[in-house]
Amino acid sequence: MKLQKNIPLVLFVFAVNSLVMGCGGKEEPSTQGAESEGKKETTTSEATSPVDMATAATINGKVLFEGTTPKMKKIDMAAEVTCQQMYPEGPRTENVLVNENGTLRNVFVYVKEGLGDMEFPTPKESVLLDQKGCRYYPHVIGIQAGQPLKIRNSDPVAHNIHPKPKNSKSFNISQPVQGMETTKKFSKPEIMVPVSCDIHSWMSAYVAVLDHPYHSTTGTEGTFELKSLPPGEYVIEAWHEEYGSQTQTIQVGEGETKEINFTFKPET
């Protein structure tokens, strides 16, 4: 009797549970996913932030691509059928991704100089680096030194995460189980820490480690935004894995929003 009475309750708990779990499971890792986490950082509204939000400025803009879009090399994923299946048109490398609007994806834009001695609190929330379809999402990611980097394996295959930092300690850990997550940190700033998987030689990601929160990676729209900047003069660098880096110096006043664009073209 007792049990029967409880059935609706049990069912309800179960339904809520599966709803919650379902949502968690459906979380689609994408370049956007980490960008949203990245945005969290750029809004340095924490009490300990040295920035006066009332006078904070913004620098935003686009990264344009000029020239013929290079064709990316095919990746032979035959050894990992479960990954290969995720690319109906066949997997290709991601070194150069030109968006439909003529902008360049995966360009890391950050404040290179201009913050002086300002010290920024280390964010406690982690940044996600996901492995899905034998690829890293996002391909280029920015974090602060000491900020947790959560590395997840969403694949049913084994990956090993093997970053090769020069300034921080490296590590090489195995994630042979689907869903496994490992949290690691890089202690010192470095542009860029290459991340690779020895098991799948085509896998590559770049982690930018900074001592401040002002960075942004271009996505499908090719835009970037550096918010909550104290007014001042900055050297902004745009980094791309194939085309190197470019810098621009820009001054922003109190509460000002300024736009700058970068243009990358393949060497001819």
Partner 1 sequence: MKKIFLLLVGLAFKQRRSSILCVLLAPAAGAGVLCVSAVNSLAQDAKIPETPENIEAGRKIYQESCIFCHGEKGKGEGHIADYLWPRPRDFTAATFKLRTTASGEVPFDSDLFQTITNGIPGTAMPEWGSLLSEKERWQVIHYIKTFAQGDYDEPPAKANLGKKIGASKEIINEGKILYALMKCWQCHGKEGRGDGPSAYDLKDEWGFIIPPADLTQGWKYRGGSRVEDIYTRFSTGMSGTPMPDFTDAAIFLNREGYQNLTPFEPVYTEEELQEIKTYIETLPTLEELGGFSEEKKAELSNRRRWALAHYIRSLITVEGPNGDVVIKSEEVEGDLPMDPDNPLWEKAKPLIVPLTGQVITKPRWQIPTVQTIFVRALHNDQEIAFLVEWSDPSQDTLHEGSDWPSVGQTSTVDTETEDTYPLLSRRENPAGSRRDALSIQFPTKIPVGPQKPYFFWGEKGNPVNLWHWKSDWQVDLERETPIEKFLAKGFRQWPEPEPPESQNVEGSGIWRKGQWRVILKRSLTTEEKEIQFEKGAFIPIAFQAWDGSNGEVGYRMSLSSWVYLLLPKAKSLRVYFNTLLGVILAVGFESWLVRRVRRKKN
Contacting residues toward partner 1, per CB under 8 A: 79-82, 156-158, 160-162, 164, 169-180, 182, 198-201
CB closer to partner 1, 25 vs 102:
25
Q: In the complex, what is the shortest distance from the CB of residue 84 to partner 1, in angstroms, rounded to a whole number? A: 11
Q: Name the residue nearer to partner 1 (CB basis): 155 or 237.
A: 155
For partner 1, which is the closer residue by CB, 115 or 151? 151
User: Among residues 39 and 169, whose Cβ is nearest to partner 1?
Assistant: 169
Nearer to partner 1 by Cβ, of 79 and 118: the residue is 79
**Min. distance of Cβ 152 from partner 1 in angstroms?**
11
- Minimum distance of partner 1 from residue 183's CB (angstroms): 10
Q: ∠ CA 143-130-98 to the nearest 5 degrees?
A: 80
Which segments within the chain are labelled E, that is strand? 57-65, 108-113, 127-131, 136-137, 140-144, 149-153, 159-163, 173-175, 181-184, 190-196, 204-210, 215-217, 223-229, 232-240, 244-252, 257-259, 262-264
Residues near 125 by beta carbon (within 8 Å), at least 6 away in sequence: 37, 40, 41, 148
Distance in Å, CB of 134 to partner 1, minimum = 11
**Residue spans of alpha helices (H) in 77-183:** 81-84
Q: How near is the Cβ of 82 to partner 1 at its closest, in Å?
A: 5
Question: How far out from the chain centre does Cα 123 lie?
Answer: 15
Nearer to partner 1, 77 or 250 (CB): 77
DSSP secondary structure letter of residue 43: S
Q: How many Å apart are CA 141 and CA 126, to the nearest integer?
A: 12
**262-264 and 57-65 strand pairing:** parallel
Compare residues 97 and 161 and give the one whose CB is closer to partner 1.
161
- Minimum gap (Å) between residue 18 Cβ and partner 1: 12
HSE value, Cβ hemisphere, 13 Å, CA-based, for 64: 7
Q: What's the CA gap between 69 and 218, in Å, rounded?
A: 17
How many C-beta atoms lie closer than 10 Å to residue 172's C-beta?
Answer: 11
Nearest distance, CB of residue 209 and partner 1, angstroms: 15
Q: Give me 210's structure tokens.
A: 């900074």
